[in-house]
Each structure stands twice: as structure tokens, then as C-alpha cells.
Amino acid sequence: MVNIAQREIAAYNAAMPRELVWIDQPRFRGWGCSECAWVFNPSNPPTGEDFNAMVRNFESQRDKEFASHRCSKHPRQSKPTQGRNG
């Protein structure tokens, strides 16, 4: 897995598949896509008979949602450019 804070993002293409990455930013800490703005936001707390089952269920839900998301539906916001005076 890649830490997005340590990686420069390039445009997505088939030669460079997207990856599930850990995002550590001031307003969000969690899993997301390396190529778009999709982030994993579980709708419910993990369930399971024990801790290991809860972890497996969480990872399964995360992986299914990551695999099924479409990057085109989660475009990254472009950074505003500063205008030049003069």
C-alpha cells in the first residue's frame, strides 16, 4: 500500500492501475483511491463474532467498495490557481 502523503498523483491509465492507499490528511484519515477522490466511508461499525472476524468483514467491505467504484464519478478537485496582476 502507498501513503498518499508521500506519493505524487499522476493521471489514471490502464498501464498504471489505481491502488487502495492510506490517506493521512488534516481533515481525513482512512482508506481511499490513489487516482481519484473516492474514500472508504463505512456505513456501519464492523460486525463479527470476534475481533478478527470484525477486521475481515471491514476489509471485505472496503475492498468490495474500492473494486466497484468508478474514478470518473469521484473526480479530484483541482487546486485553485493564483491570478497574476500586471
pLDDT tens sequence across 4-55:
443 433 444 455 589 999 999 999 999 999 999 999 999 889 999 999 999 9
- Residue 9 inside a domain? The answer is yes
Question: Cell numbers at residue 85, please?
Answer: 496582476
The number of distinct structural domains making up the chain is 1
Flag whether 81 is in a domain. Answer: no
pLDDT tens, residue by residue, 59-76: 999 999 999 999 999 998
Whole domain around residue 61: which residue ranges? 4-73
The verdict on residue 41 lying in a domain is: yes
Residue 81 cell numbers, joined: 490557481
| In-domain check, residue 27 | yes
Domain contains 86 = no
Per-residue pLDDT band for 80 (boundaries 50, 70, 90) equals: low
CB 69 within 8 A of CB 60: no
Tell me, yes or no, if the pTM score tops 0.85: no
Place of cell 478537485: 77
Domain for residue 24, yes or no?
yes
